[in-house]
Structure 1
Amino acid sequence: MRTAVRLAALAGRRLAGALATLLAGSFVLFAAAEVLPGDAAAAALGGSASPADVARLHAELGLDRPLPVRYADWIGSALSGDLGHSLVDRRPVSQIIAGPLADTLLLAGVCAALTVVLALAIGLAAGLRPGSLLDRILSGTSVALVSVPQFVTAGLLTLVLASWLGVLPAVSLVPFGEPLLAHPEALVLPVTALTLFSAAWAGRLVRAAVADAAATPHVEAARLAGLAPARVVLRHLLPTAAGPCAQVFGWLTGTLVGGTAVVEQVFNYPGLSNELVAAVEHHDAAVLEGIGLLMAAAVVTGLLLADLLTAAADPRTRTAT
């Protein structure tokens, strides 16, 4: 009972902090989007529009009001689920980004699931025998994968698997109106490019957590007591390493949503990055702000989840916070 109360109190404090962080970030995002070069009203009316027409559309869209007033209206509507309307084609932002958001979440979700499995396998294999040949091979490979920019990895995968071998499509195009899952081959290259980086990065952190847990006195005592290796790992080592691992995977879950942009562009994947690029090109601040807010919320949610998972796995964090 006391543990549940402490967890609930911690969750309340962390949630309040996450909301404050998201609000602060949303204001920075809104202000940054407003100072982008160009004019959405002029872009919507075309190059032949007169200054009077542009000024009239500014007033109609409320762009002539002070920035704090417009931000207050925008964030109030966003918190109620209304992300506003595009300044260019007047469609609801939620309607514009609904399909691409689903495809980005699909990509991020598949990558997250694969990353958790691979990172645990890499971390356990390397961390249980630090300094061994297997550890050196896995650690070296992980460092190499993390050091290479994602667009380079994506380009190499395209060159080998699409151009040379011809076993996969070079771009993730699907027939209009058909769901992405109806063409799973379009997911393979983007998922592989993202997973190679994220699994290598997470695997390094899991390896460190496993190695630290393996050196703790109670794990060493269990090993010296003659317990089976599998029992030592499952009953003693993994609970000790669960806190740091939860932090890694919680953080990864949030950042993958925003981290798909580069890979989506390389493979022309039909995700949020295409709408984001289009919004910048057309100076459509409403769409840019809506996508940015969703990505910021994903990151903050991931960090909040990481904190709560860490607290649930490690009692020391509950008493220290």
Structure 2
Amino acid sequence: MSIELLMPETATETGERVLAKASSTTEGLLGRIGSLETRLARTTSEVEAAQRVRFTVFVEEMGAQLPPEAMQARRDYDAYDAICDHLLVIDSAIDGDPEDQIVGTYRLLRQDVAERHGGFYSAHEFDIGPLLTRHADKRFMELGRSCVLPDYRTRRTVELLWQGNWAYALKHGIDAMFGCASFPGIQPEAHALALSFLHHHAGGKGEWAVSALPSLHCSMDMMPPEAVDARRALAVMPPLVKGYLRLGAVFGEGAVIDRAFNTTDVLVVLPIAAISGRYVNYYGADAGRFAG
């Protein structure tokens, strides 16, 4: 599941930016805006700090129910954390160590790593095998566990998360990204308009088609096409889903109820070649927009 994040509405609504070149004290820096910077976690303690941020958002804010050991530790963690890279947004203006400065995170899993360790997390909800088989010549990356602390749900933070994702994808030669995005609650019918819009107007077709596992499949086709008002559907869309739409993503067939996280999940598929040109230009074809 993923927390709902805002994507930039336009390439000009960004505010003042202070860019800094990487130095020996910012090794691995992927981007910076003012006091905020994005990079990968470097230590186990930083990963654990990111897991505490996830606990704050997913459990304390959104009502997720994790396994007892995770609840006791007050960290959202699972076996995938050990094989993923953890993208961080850090506010250097916060007093303390880097572990105290983490305000946002994304979990990144490359296909070559996933295949050596039992597969992708999304495969527990969606039948992604045929998708991967059809694109055996492409490199996939799974995005997951995205969250931002409430006080930092701003355009600047989200721009840095996507700066990090884009820079990482370019570095590793990624051809397509995918992952779960979430609607709040476990009643898909409460999101009939938005889900029907995705089904009729943004469903993955042909080589990019993918479906929820049959045992978990919840229909997204709740309203006929003529009853779906696009403007209203977009207005009630979770910001993360709307952001993926703007980038050029398509969505899988069928939603999945995730009772543990109290969400209704859809699968997002974002081929790099399909990313809207204005976003490629905005972040830079070389991910240089916010990097030194």
Kindly indicate which of the two structures has a greater share of residues assigned to strand.
Answer: 2
TM above 0.5, yes or no, is no
TM-score range, shorter chain: under 0.3
User: Which has the larger Rg?
Assistant: 1
Kindly indicate which of the two structures has a greater share of residues assigned to helix.
Answer: 1
